[in-house]
Amino acid sequence: MTQTAADTDRAPGARHDDRPPPTACLVLTDGQTFYGEGFGATGQAVAELCFNTAMTGYQEIMTDPSYAGQIVTFTFPHIGNVGVNPEDDETAEPVAAGMVVKWRPTAPSNWRSAESLSAWLARRGRIGIGGLDTRRLTRAIRLQGAPHVAIAHDPSGNFDIAALRAGAKAFRGLTGMDLAKDVTCSQSYRWDEMRWAWPAGYTRREGPARRVVAVDYGAKRNILRCLASAGCDVTVLPASATAEEVLAHDPEGLFLSNGPGDPAATGAYAVPMIREVLEQSDIPIFGICLGHQMLALALGARTIKMNHGHHGANHPVKELATGKVEITSMNHGFTVDSQTLPAGVIETHVSLFDGSNCGIAMADRPVFSVQHHPEASPGPQDSFYLFERFVASMEARQSGR
């Protein structure tokens, strides 16, 4: 059945009569339908719905490859207020399927803004919906788990709710999905751009550096910038890279990037590569997010799907060795089951929200990883030491020879 604006007074999430007719809707598999104002691209999409509590960084979130297969509900109401600009993209195109916000974005006001969020989304083919009760959605996700949804934007306000619900119900979900293959690079490349700094902006690394191979499961640009800023000469390889291809670059260190999807599915080809590198070389290894989960699987642990995941920039994580608490940025719907860590693998970090695993390390080798995102400026510098630790482990290996 096609539902129009005239029917919205009988639907959950309906708008009051004194407001403009709805031009977008969000449909859950249980039939709940939320109406609002569409912006960005027109059309429809199906995905998993998550929420993010960050107060800044909506452009970085939408272009983070780890959000493949997801629609993001932003709990912070002021989304779009600073516009967008080319420097803040984490990858070439938005990856999240759509966005849900409390208020439709207003005209941007920021000296760095090059375009409005709505125009940017329209040009990039991503749907936005505003005017929804995002607190209600967030509570539902927390209590019931991340639902499968359909989002639609039609300026005429005509929506086939039954078809949208059917599409949401047909969405297979992220469990069992290898999405890294969809967001990885198609061929290898070098990276030397460093972190943004006033007043020069992004600059290039110069001088001697440690040779690092970064395996791209959906790498964010700022991770690569942090590696370069810490003193790494970075060569990026596709997610499907073999151990032979990795070691052919004679790396001093191996980095495993963030990425989307079910780690067990990506692990079908990533885990054998990591195990072979561990067997054939003693180089330091550092992983972030999906890379953390890939390392854990390679070492013999298991991963599990979380109820609603961790998505935000205010997550407290405790480093167990020092007792230090870091304010971190997170984006993951799967987690390493710390109860399955084998002998010789140490749990190094835990979430203070729910006690879930946030870091591991081998007891006798410079091999470690974290679930959170040290490159995303949480704290704002609480976790950058991890990049420095990676470089220090490479220097220690070289000096020990």
| Catalytic-labelled residue, pool 48, 90, 326, 375 | 375
* 3.30.70.330, 3.40.50.2300, 2.60.40.10, 3.50.30.20: CATH of 2-170: 3.50.30.20
What pLDDT score does 5 carry? 42
Position 160 scores a pLDDT of 97
Give the pLDDT score at 8: 39
Q: Following DSSP, what letter does each residue of 276-345 receive, concatenated?
A: HHHHH----EEEETHHHHHHHHHTT--EEEEEEEEEEEEEEEEETTT--EEEEEEEEEEEE-GGGPPTTE
Nearest C-alpha neighbor of 328 from the set 351, 305, 304, 360: 351
Tell me the pLDDT tens digit for each residue of 18-74: 667 999 999 999 999 999 999 999 999 999 999 999 999 999 999 999 999 999 999
Please, how many CA atoms are within 13 Å of residue 364, restricted to the half-sphere of its CB?
3
Contact 212, 236 (CB under 8 A): no
pLDDT single digits (tens) 183-222: 999 999 999 999 999 899 999 999 999 999 999 999 999 9
Helices (H) and strands (E) in the chain, counts: 10, 19
Burial class of residue 337, CB neighbours in 10 A (0-12, 13-18, 19+): middle
- Does residue 50 carry a catalytic annotation? no
pLDDT at 17: 54
Q: How far is Cα 128 from Cα 140, in angstroms, rounded to an integer?
A: 20
pLDDT value of residue 381? 86
Which DSSP letter does residue 111 get? T
| One-letter amino acid for residue 245 of the chain | E
User: Distance between the two ends of the chain, CA-based, in angstroms?
Assistant: 72
Residue type, 26: L
Tell me how far apart the alpha carbons of residues 36 and 375 are, in angstroms, rounded to a whole number.
34
- pLDDT, position 15: 46
Give the pLDDT score at 401: 66
Predicted pLDDT at 379: 79
pLDDT at 20: 76
Confidence at residue 18, expressed as pLDDT on a 0 to 100 scale: 64
Cβ–Cβ under 8 Å, residues 213 and 254 = yes
pLDDT at position 12 is 43
Looking only at the bridges linking them, the beta strands covering 127-130 and 33-40 are antiparallel
**Which of 262, 266, 190 lies closest to 224 in space, CA to CA?**
190
Domain ranges of the chain: 2-170, 180-396
| 252 Cβ contact partners less than 8 Å away, ≥ 6 residues apart | 210, 211, 212, 283, 284, 394, 397, 398
Is 153 one of the catalytic residues?
A: no
The Cα angle at residue 292 between residues 287 and 298, in degrees rounded to 5? 105
Instruction: State the pLDDT at residue 33.
Output: 96
Pick the CATH number of 180-396 from 3.30.365.10, 3.30.465.10, 3.40.50.880, 2.60.40.720: 3.40.50.880
What is the enclosing helix (H) or strand (E) of 135? helix 134-144
Q: For this structure, is 375 an active site residue? A: yes
pTM of the model: 0.94
CA–CA distance, 81 with 162 (Å, rounded to integer): 34
Cα 157 to Cα 212: distance, rounded to the nearest angstrom: 52
Amino acid, single-letter form, for residue 316? P
Cα 130 from Cα 42, distance rounded (Å): 14
What is the sign, positive or negative, of the torsion defined by CA atoms of 369, 375, 380, 381? positive
Rg of the chain's alpha carbons, rounded to an integer?
Answer: 22
Residue ranges in the chain whose pLDDT is less than 70 = 1-19, 401
Catalytic: which of 25, 232, 289, 358?
289
DSSP for 137-205 reads HHHHHHHH---EEEEEE-TT--EEHHHHHHHHHH---STT---HHHHS-SS-EEE-B---BTTTBS-B-
Task: Choose the catalytic residue: 153, 310, 349, 373.
Answer: 373
Please list the residues that pair with 129 across neighbouring strands. 38, 100
